[in-house]
Amino acid sequence: MHWQTRLVQPQTLAPAGFRSLATPTYRGSTVLFERQADVVDDWRHGDGTYSYGLYGTPTALELAGRIAQLEGAHHTFVVPGGQAAIALIYLSFCRAGSHALVPFSAYGPNSEMAQGLLKGLGIEVEAYDPLIGGAIGNRIRDNTALVWVESPGSVTMEVQDVPAICKAARAQGVPVALDNTYSAGVMFDAFAHGVGVSMQALTKYVGGHSDLLLGTVSVNADALKQRIGATFKQLGLAVSPDDCSLALRGLQTMGVRLAQLERSTLEIARWLAEQPGVASVFHPALPSCPGHELWKRDFKGSTSVFSMLFNADFTANQVESFVDALNLFQIGMSWGGLTSLALVYPSLDRPGKDYAGRLVRLNIGLEDPSDLKADLTQAMQAMRRPA
Ligand SMILES: *Cc1c(COP(=O)(O)O)cnc(C)c1O
């Protein structure tokens, strides 16, 4: 054979027997079959039944398996990000004419998809008060195909009565999907509390280093796996094996990171609650957080993200200057990494609440908490200085 042929069809292979602690990064689009008769196009990858890289190489399936174990799920799908996980869930359960319920406190881009893409497809998504509890049953209609819960909610941190919502939805045969990103899939046991579908953005705590985007959708029953799998296949939600490899590495240190983040975050949240000028702190482990009692009942712990509300005598410009004056806290979206972050939410849509320009969402990182408190102190002094 010519060398060009040998270049693309190599005959030598690395020696077998290498054992390491790291999961190999398997790249691959084409999957090889022994015989034509073996050729299938099936997303259900498993032992010896791979068909196409789009549905996951062994690196992605290793990650999926570990998340399923962590969450106690029957099956986990790995998708390109948390937002892709949200889209996969909507499109698996809703069709033209369907109705879905989503809390006011849902992750912003979830609501944006509801009012944008989904509306265009003839799917009606109705927002509800996150503290509705079992009364969600009264909002369920004949065409309700899905109820979303997110606990604690994004930015305003309302803890929901997930068991009561699941009970009411189950009574009317409606599946409940949970955005479990806050809990990293561990602080809240979705399936033990009645949820059928649980998603998280691995981008946050599993990745943990602000350098990858991935999401998961986990289910507790085979019927849900088959239903979501059919949509997963058609949408072509491929993930990078390199990102999956980073997420597998992130999982190894997530236990120690979460423990440290919980401690530092609690220390800073409690300290902030006592500072003059701070009207309220929305951290689920503090009584000032809506649904705090539910958090105590249902959660194993808390994580690194919470919000602070400044007194009404501060102007939006002053709150902005507070964020700008921070040195260690960086300004940026996403959270769950090693770096502390701060962000103002100037136009939060929360019926009955006036948080306009006064609410700052913080993510605590792995810096020493006393340095972070000093940074917050100097920024609160700076915001009081005349412009
Ligand atoms: C970040 C986030 C998402 C989206 O995750 P991406 O990976 O950034 O798409 C979804 N839900 C919640 C609650 C989030 O915080």
pLDDT in tens, 365-381: 999 999 999 999 999 99
- Same domain as 161, residue 280: no
Residue in this structure with the two tokens 């509390």, named with its chain if needed: 193
pLDDT for 348: 85
Contact 229, 44 (CB under 8 A): yes
For ligand 1, the distance from its centroid to the CA atom of residue 81, given in whole angstroms, is 7
Last residue of a domain, one of 207, 231, 248: 248
Q: For a substitution probing ligand 1, which of 86, 88, 149, 181 has the most ligand atoms within 8 Å of its CB?
A: 181
| Of 63, 112, 64, nearest in space to 90 by CA | 112
Tokens of 137: 């049953």
Return all residues near 114 (Cβ < 8 A) that are at least 6 apart: 90, 100, 102, 123, 125, 127
Please tell me whether residues 232 and 323 are part of one structural domain.
no
Residue 200 and residue 176 in one domain: yes
pLDDT at position 13: 76
Last residue of a domain, one of 195, 214, 248: 248
Does residue 36 belong to any structural domain of this protein?
yes
Domain residues for the domain of 317 are 254-384
Going from the Cα of 381 to the center of ligand 1, the distance in angstroms, rounded, reads 33
Q: Do 224 and 292 fall within a single domain?
A: no
pLDDT score, position 272: 98
Whether 2 is in a domain gets the answer no
Tell me the CATH number at 139: 3.40.640.10
Q: Is 70 among the domain residues? A: yes
Residue 306 parent element (H or E): strand 305-310
Residue 225 lies in a domain: yes
Contacts of 178 (CB under 8 A, 6+ apart): 148, 149, 150, 151, 162, 190, 195, 197, 198, 199
Q: Which of 83, 154, 199, 237 to mutate to test the pocket of ligand 1 (most atoms within 8 A of CB)?
A: 83
18 inside domain = no
Pairwise CA distance, residues 230 & 235, whole Å:
9
SS3 assignment for 25-40: CCCCCECCCCCHHHCC
- Residues 244 and 264 occupy one common structural domain: no
Buried b (16+ CB within 10 A) or exposed e, 164-184: bbbbbbeeeebbbbbbbbbbb
* Cβ neighbour number for residue 333 with a 10 Å cutoff: 9
- Beta-bridge mates of residue 146: 100
What does residue 370 show for φ and ψ, rounded to 5 degrees? -70, -35
Q: Let me know if residue 20 belongs to a domain.
A: no
Distance of CA 334 from the midpoint of ligand 1 (Å): 7
Report how far apart, in Å, the C-alpha atoms of 34 and of each of 8, 12, 38, 46 are. 19, 19, 7, 16
Q: What is the rounded distance in angstroms from the CA atom of residue 91 to the CA atom of residue 93? A: 6
Q: Is residue 45 domain-shared with residue 119, that is, in the same domain?
A: yes
Q: What is the pLDDT of residue 7?
A: 83
Same domain as 240, residue 178: yes
CB of residue 215 inside a 6 A radius of ligand 1: yes
In a domain, 19, yes or no: no
The confidence score (pLDDT) of residue 46 equals 80
Domain assignment present for 100? yes
Domain-terminating residue out of 193, 222, 248? 248
CA dist., res. 9 & res. 11, Å (int):
6
Judge if 300 and 354 occupy the same domain.
Answer: yes
Question: Is there a contact between 66 and 23 (Cβ–Cβ < 8 Å)?
Answer: no
Same domain? For 214 and 362 the reply is no
| Distance between Cα 207 and ligand 1 center (Å) | 12
Q: Same domain for 238 and 270?
A: no
| Measured distance CA(48)–CA(254) in Å, rounded | 31
Q: Do 334 and 304 contact (CB within 8 A), yes or no?
A: no
Q: Which atom of ligand 1 is nearest to the CA of 203?
A: 7
- What's the domain count of the chain? 2
* Residue 219 shares a structural domain with residue 161: yes
281-284: long-range contacts, CB 8 A cutoff, minimum separation 24: 281/306, 281/307, 281/308, 281/309, 282/152, 282/156, 282/157, 282/306, 282/307, 282/308, 282/309, 283/157, 283/307, 284/152, 284/157, 284/159
Do residue 204 and residue 293 come from a single domain?
no
Distance 181 CA to ligand 1 centre (A): 7
- Which residue has its alpha carbon closest to ligand 1 atom 5? 82
Low-confidence ranges of the chain (pLDDT < 50): none
Beta strands 359-363 and 341-344, pairing class = antiparallel
Which residue, by CA, sits nearest to atom 8 of ligand 1? 82
Tell me which residue of 27, 40, 20, 86 sits closest to 240, measured CA to CA: 27
3-state secondary structure of 92: helix
Tell me how far CA of residue 176 lies from CA of 85, 193, 295, 296, 318, in angstroms: 14, 11, 19, 22, 41
